[in-house]
Structure formats: structure tokens, C-alpha cells
A and B are shown apart, each in its own frame.
Chain A
């Protein structure tokens, strides 16, 4: 049923010199799904992520968001079209406050330019107030509003992860792409992350997730795709994937 697909990825390949990082990868993500991407280290997960979010352009293949072909566009255009992301190694604007970080996320949804900045006309003042109000809402949404004036680099690790999610949500995404959001988190952090992700999904945002924490992935996602050496080796619900012999072999080696 293509009408319900939010993201349709077909035949994506990407080479770096002689190394093929992705070979003919296809999958689709339905609206409102939590879709996970798993695989051993070096399987091509992050490369695929970077292609979908416009950091790399694919060598061949295409992908559509809402039926619109997006392959090869710039990262800023992806954000504008509705794909927001977080990074595996947190990339916050570390010398800006938490609030300012989220306010930057509103950039593509607002318009004030040099003229509005200098003359502060009524519409640019109103817009600036809306940006700040929305950013505060998002900080409290992810549960870190009490740190609003702290510099991002002084936040605790878990709060930095939350701030990255808030900043991504500020772009009003249809698809939120999270690159290992639970990396380095303890059990209670991971549990509250799971609750946050469920809530984001309930609020109508589709989630694409790369994650190493198998317990978290299996517990939260609706469907997942397994990559190994740049190839898709399995796709399906957690139950289907768990019993797939190819997946067991990829993770444990053949005995």
C-alpha cells in the first residue's frame, strides 16, 4: 500500500572509492511507524542514514518522502521537506544555550531576514516570540526545561541526547531519524528514552532508529531492517527477524 508509505527507499547504492558501503538497499517506512535499522558494526547503517538526511548523495537509487523524490538534495532541503535527524556522536551547538539550540531548529520554518532583524518590525518581533515559545515547549516536552539557560556542553550526557531530539523536533519533521539515541545510556535513561519515543510517535511523527541496544529495539519498533556489509539481509517485525537464520549468522557467525 504505497499511499501509506512515508518514506520509500529503492535501490540505494553508495561507494567510497573501491568500498561499497551500500548495495541496492530498498525498504519502506509507513506513516506513524517506529522503524529500526540494525546490523553489525560497519554494516552501512550510518551511511544509509547520511544518504537519507542529505549528508551524502547516493550513487544510484532513489528515495521518496511523501511521494516526492528526494535523492541527492542538500541536508538543509531534507530538513525543510520534513526529515530531521540526531547524530551518533552528539553534535549540539555547544557554546549556545539549550534554548538557543532548539531555537536554531526553527530556522527553516521561519522567515525573518536582515531587514526584520535590524528594524524589528511587528511581524519579526512576533515571529521571534513564537520561536522562543515553541523552543520552551519542546524543552519541557523532552523534560529539560530547567536547563534552558545552560550551555549545551555543560548538560549531562543524557540531557544532551534529549536536547538533540528537541532540536530535531523543532524543525516540525514528518520523519525523525535517530542515530543511536541510547548509546552510552544506563537502564533508567534508556527506559525514559523509550517513553519519550512512544510519546513522539503518538504525536504523529514517524521514527527511523539506528540502535545497538537490542532490547530497546525489539521492545519499541514495529518493523526493522537488518543490514550486513551494505546489503539488506532481513526485514520484518521483531519476531520475524529474531528467528531469521541469516540474521543469527550475521551476528553470531556460522558455527
Chain B
């Protein structure tokens, strides 16, 4: 299919998506899709660190928290500050990026399991700080978090206001989140196919060889941490403005693991695969809520409580995917390219056998 036509179809589908979802499944599902987009940004950010540079980070949600609290503290009655969204969005990315460098710097010599443990610790430190910085001076609101956060306002228009009765606020947020997700995906793909992206992959493949080829591995790793963290910060600011409320509970280790699952399940290092993984894993737990009514419909009786069986099914599906598609559901096309090259070699070999027969 022509590239232009395909692009047009994808765009039309993305624009129609909230309307169709609302019509078919109800407004709650548009909200779930909004969250899926936030998770896509997070997964794309973590993909830079884990997928491109090969640095296992188990504390990634900390950067999401930094972005969210930045927006929450600077645009809410908590400090009486109400800074505008257009300033806070890039600021969230920037501050989260700085935190990425701050947390990345001490881990530069670590690899694999050790790096994972230290980043896990950092993620928890951030959460515990947020939980306890309410005394003696109340900075973060402690376990209660920050409430009444300003809704995202663009050019005087608050996204919390429905455009019309058939265009509710969740649609506004959908289109904003979609735009930022596309931006993040675009930046990711540009970075991947560049001198910097090659250096990241080289470090993932063999750090010593990368250093010996003239790559300053310290700087290039810090850059990966900073870029990944800044995407997390973007997602965090959007989250705070969307929810209107943040508390440390949203930034637990479980969230970091979930984002990592999205990256691994979708296909590490493959941008489309990672977005696919994020959407799938944010929708699947919601969809599994319907297991109860499904049982009712089939057996006329609910045998297993859906809330208890949901995580079980989720776990089983993850294990199955890892068993049968260990490279992820939608791995990068490098393998395809490689197979094509193999076919060509085979053809060469066959033709030379044929020549020898003459």
C-alpha cells in the first residue's frame, strides 16, 4: 500500500478512535485509552534506557513521579502557585532529565543485575521522600499527596471543559496525549537512527568494544538516562494535570515493573512494538474485569471472582508470551532483514551449484 494512503488511514483511525470507543464501550474506555497513551510515553522513555542502551532500570517510575509532582506543586493551591502548562511541560521533562543524570551517574560502573538493584533502590528512595516530606515543612503533602491540581489549560482553554455534550473532557485529553505520544515516538525514532542511537546500541552489545572504538561510554550512558527520564517527566506532568491529584501510591515498584513488562513484551528496542506493549498491558487488566460477566453468560453462575482471577490470567498470559515469543510480540525488523540476507546467500549458493553442473 502507498505510504501516503497508509498514513491517512492511520490518522483517520486515531481521530475516530475516541468516538468509536465511546459509542461501542462507553466513556470509561476513552479514559482507559488516555492512560494507555500516558503509559506509551513511559514505555518509550524506558525503551531508550533498556531497549537501546541495554541498561536495566527498575526504578523508572521515579521520573514519572518527578514530572507529576513538579506539575502538582507548581500548579495547585498547595503552594498557591499556578504556573502555566506550556511552561511546566518542558520544565517537567528538563527536571526529570536532570534527575536521570543524577541517578544515572553513581550507577555508571554497574551492569545487569547490580544496576537493576541500585535503580530499584533509587525508585523507592524517591517514593519514600515524597511520602515523608510533609514534616517539619510540608513540601509534598506526604501520604495524602497533592489535591486540587489545576487542569491543563492551553491558550486560556481548560481541557476539563467539554467542547460540547458529545465532545467531553476525556476527548480533549485524548488528543493532547496523542500529540505528545506521537512527538515522543518521533524523537525516539530519530534518535535510534542516528550517531547517538548507534552508540547506545554499541554499548548494549559490548561496552568494552564501544569504549575502544572511541565512544565515551560515560557521557553516552548519561545521555540515555537523561533522555529516557525526560520522557517519563513529560508523561508525569500530563498525568498530574489529567488526574488533578497525585500521591506517592501511584509511583510504586509495581508501576516500574509494569512499564518494564510493556517494553519487554512489546519488543525491546522496537518503537512500534513498545507502544503496542504499552497499549496492550494497560488495556488487558481492564478487559479482564469482564471475566465475571462472561462466566455469568456462559455458565449462568460466577465460579471465580473476577478481581482475584484477573491478575492470575494476566500473569499466565505474560508467561505464555515469554515462552513462545521471547523477543516480544512485535520485535524489531532487524531479524527480518537478517533472514532476507540469508535467503540471498542461499540463492547464491544454489546458483553456484547449478553452474558447477554445466
Q: A74 vs B201: C-alpha distance in the bound complex, in angstroms?
A: 20
Asked if residues B198 and A117 are in contact (CB atoms below 8 Å), the reply is: no
CB distance from B267 to the nearest CB of A (A): 13
Asked if residues B191 and A110 are in contact (CB atoms below 8 Å), the reply is: no
Is A93 close to B, CB under 8 A?
yes
In the complex, chain A residues whose CB is within 8 Å of the CB of B215: 76, 104, 107-108
| Stretch from B123-131, B336-344, B350-358 that touches the partner | B336-344
In the complex, chain B residues whose CB is within 8 Å of the CB of A112: 194-196
Within the complex, which residue of A79, A117, A127 is in contact with B213, where a contact is CB–CB below 8 Å? A79
Interface hits, A76-121 → B, CB 8 Å: 76, 78-80, 84-85, 87, 91-97, 100, 103-110, 112-114, 116-118, 120
Asked if residues B206 and A92 are in contact (CB atoms below 8 Å), the reply is: yes
Asked if residues A118 and B205 are in contact (CB atoms below 8 Å), the reply is: no
Known: A97-B337, A108-B214, A154-B342. A118 touches B209 (CB 8 A): no
Is A242 close to B, CB under 8 A?
no
Is B307 close to A, CB under 8 A?
no
Is B210 close to A, CB under 8 A?
yes
In the complex, chain A residues whose CB is within 8 Å of the CB of B194: 112, 116-117, 124, 128
Asked if residues A171 and B338 are in contact (CB atoms below 8 Å), the reply is: no
CB distance from A90 to the nearest CB of B (A): 9
Asked if residues B223 and A114 are in contact (CB atoms below 8 Å), the reply is: yes
Is B319 close to A, CB under 8 A?
no
Is A25 close to B, CB under 8 A?
no
Asked if residues A167 and B213 are in contact (CB atoms below 8 Å), the reply is: yes
In the complex, chain A residues whose CB is within 8 Å of the CB of B191: 114, 117-118
Known: A76-B211, A117-B196, A118-B191. A93 touches B217 (CB 8 A): no
CB distance from B226 to the nearest CB of A (A): 9
Is A75 close to B, CB under 8 A?
yes
Asked if residues A151 and B338 are in contact (CB atoms below 8 Å), the reply is: yes
CB distance from B341 to the nearest CB of A (A): 5
Is B212 close to A, CB under 8 A?
yes
Asked if residues B195 and A149 are in contact (CB atoms below 8 Å), the reply is: no
Asked if residues B206 and A117 are in contact (CB atoms below 8 Å), the reply is: no
In the complex, chain B residues whose CB is within 8 Å of the CB of A116: 194-195
Nearest neighbor of A116 in chain B, beta-carbon distance: B194
Asked if residues B214 and A93 are in contact (CB atoms below 8 Å), the reply is: no
- Residues of A within 8 Å of B, CB-based: how many? 48
Q: How large is the interface on B (under 10, 10 to 19, 20 to 34, 35 or more residues)?
A: 20 to 34
Is B202 close to A, CB under 8 A?
yes
Is B278 close to A, CB under 8 A?
no
Is B187 close to A, CB under 8 A?
yes
Is A193 close to B, CB under 8 A?
no
In the complex, chain A residues whose CB is within 8 Å of the CB of B161: none
Asked if residues A91 and B209 are in contact (CB atoms below 8 Å), the reply is: yes
Binary flags per residue of B181-202, CB closer than 8 Å to A gives 1, else 0 = 0000001001101111111011
Nearest neighbor of A98 in chain B, beta-carbon distance: B341
CB distance from B316 to the nearest CB of A (A): 30
In the complex, chain B residues whose CB is within 8 Å of the CB of A106: 195
CB distance from A97 to the nearest CB of B (A): 7
Asked if residues B211 and A74 are in contact (CB atoms below 8 Å), the reply is: yes
In the complex, chain A residues whose CB is within 8 Å of the CB of B210: 93, 104
In the complex, chain B residues whose CB is within 8 Å of the CB of A167: 213
Interface hits, A127-166 → B, CB 8 Å: 127-128, 131, 147, 149-151, 154
Is A13 close to B, CB under 8 A?
no
Q: A120 vs B187: C-alpha distance in the bound complex, in angstroms?
A: 11
Is A53 close to B, CB under 8 A?
yes
Q: A108 vs B214: C-alpha distance in the bound complex, in angstroms?
A: 5
In the complex, chain A residues whose CB is within 8 Å of the CB of B206: 91-94
Is B334 close to A, CB under 8 A?
yes
Asked if residues B195 and A92 are in contact (CB atoms below 8 Å), the reply is: no
Within the complex, which residue of B202, B216, B341 is in contact with A74, where a contact is CB–CB below 8 Å? B216
5 interchain residue pairs of minimum CB distance:
A108-B214, A79-B214, A117-B194, A93-B205, A91-B209
| Chain B residues engaging chain A, CB cutoff 8 angstroms | 187, 190-191, 193-199, 201-202, 205-206, 208-217, 223, 227, 334, 337-338, 340-342
Q: Would you give 18 A-B contacts (Cβ < 8 Å), ordered by A?
A: A79-B214, A84-B213, A92-B209, A93-B209, A95-B334, A96-B205, A107-B198, A107-B199, A112-B194, A113-B196, A116-B195, A117-B190, A117-B197, A127-B195, A131-B195, A147-B341, A149-B338, A171-B213
| Chain A residues engaging chain B, CB cutoff 8 angstroms | 53-55, 74-76, 78-80, 84-85, 87, 91-97, 100, 103-110, 112-114, 116-118, 120, 124, 127-128, 131, 147, 149-151, 154, 167-168, 170-171
Q: Supply 6 further A-B pairs (C-beta < 8 A) apart from A112-B196, A147-B341.
A: A85-B212, A96-B205, A107-B202, A107-B215, A108-B213, A114-B227
